[in-house]
Amino acid sequence: MKKHLKFWGTRGSCSVSGPEYLHFGGNSCSLEICYGDAHVIIDAGTGIRALGDTFAGITPLKINLLLTHTHWDHIIGFPFFDPVYSAATHLMIWAPGSTGRSCKQLFNDLLAIEFFPIHLEEVKSTLEFKTLQQKTPITFGPITLDFHTTNHPGLAYGVKITTPHQTIGYITDNEFLQGYHGEAADVTEELLEPHRGLIDFFQGCDLIIHEAQYTPEEYLQKVGWGHSSALNAVTLVSLLKPKQWGVIHHDPKHTDEDLKRLCEWTKEKLSSLHLKIPVEWIPDNHVIELK
């Protein structure tokens, strides 16, 4: 029985390519969850294009695609996801309620004639749009997914995936401790207050997948952009105390060498705080086996 997470895309903000990105890859976010009969895709960044090829010849095909939010890097692969064009596909698209326009309207706009040659009305698959609600779990066979808002412009969710044996927090876009540039030891209750709901929601997860998009120096110029400095991400992880931390949503400016340096810096920071939490920067196509 297949039980794993596969990271088809781990880049944030904008997909990249080139010799300086060969190790970590350049596809924007898309995660595949396989757990026995349960199969769920989270986010439709450019990573979902290659994932689509794995469904070739499967009919009928029922796919659940959940979106953490509808920023470009999480939906731009959708028009290149082959199952969309097959009459044998029933595609359920789950997304957070937006600020005014429905998810269907947003996808309609994504495929407007000015942006793409095939209109949403013309695709052959059956599309069904559903709204995700905070703390309203959805069960897919043996696994349950639940949602909590993150600190990110617009409405974005982090996802808690519960299997019979493990709990995984998947948080792609979250600016933890917005505007804070100090050390973990100096973080006050007042600073944590806006994030308390998220901390409580994801505390106790076995595995946390959370971004650490900026170096502390870069973050000085990027407050309010919706992403965490590695230093603030370390503080969050120190509070969540997972058994393992995986980092995704890598900044498009960060080459393989930059990401390896940031990973080493983060390991040293965790160790200086006496935290024995293994951390890894996750590359495209990485698989984490589940119990």
Q: Which residues make up the interface to Zn ion (CB under 5 A)?
A: 12, 71, 73, 173
| Residues 190-202 as b or e (16 or more Cβ within 10 Å = b) | ebbeebeebeebb
CB of 159 to Zn ion, least distance (A): 13
Q: Which of 265, 268, 164 is nearest to 206 (CA)?
A: 164
Position 115, amino acid: F
CB nearer Zn ion, residue 13 or residue 235: 13
CB of 45 to Zn ion, least distance (A): 8
Q: Where are the beta strands (DSSP E) in the chain?
A: 3-9, 30-35, 38-42, 61-66, 89-96, 126-132, 138-140, 143-149, 157-162, 167-171, 207-210, 244-247, 279-281, 286-289
Q: Which residues contact 197 (CB under 8 A, 6 or more apart)?
A: 148, 149
CB of 73 to Zn ion, least distance (A): 4
Tokens found for residue 13? 């903000």
Q: Which residue is nearest to Zn ion (CB)?
A: 71
Residue 168 · residue 5 · CB < 8 Å? yes
CB of 76 to Zn ion, least distance (A): 10
The CB-side HSE value for 54 (13 A sphere, CA atoms) comes to: 13
CB nearer Zn ion, residue 32 or residue 173: 173
CB nearer Zn ion, residue 146 or residue 211: 211
Position 103, amino acid: C
CB of 218 to Zn ion, least distance (A): 16
CB nearer Zn ion, residue 9 or residue 12: 12
CB nearer Zn ion, residue 13 or residue 125: 13
CB of 43 to Zn ion, least distance (A): 8
CB nearer Zn ion, residue 154 or residue 164: 154
Tokens found for residue 101? 């326009």
CB nearer Zn ion, residue 70 or residue 86: 70
3-state secondary structure of 33: strand
CB of 172 to Zn ion, least distance (A): 5
CA distance 202 to 198: 6
Tokens found for residue 289? 């086996």
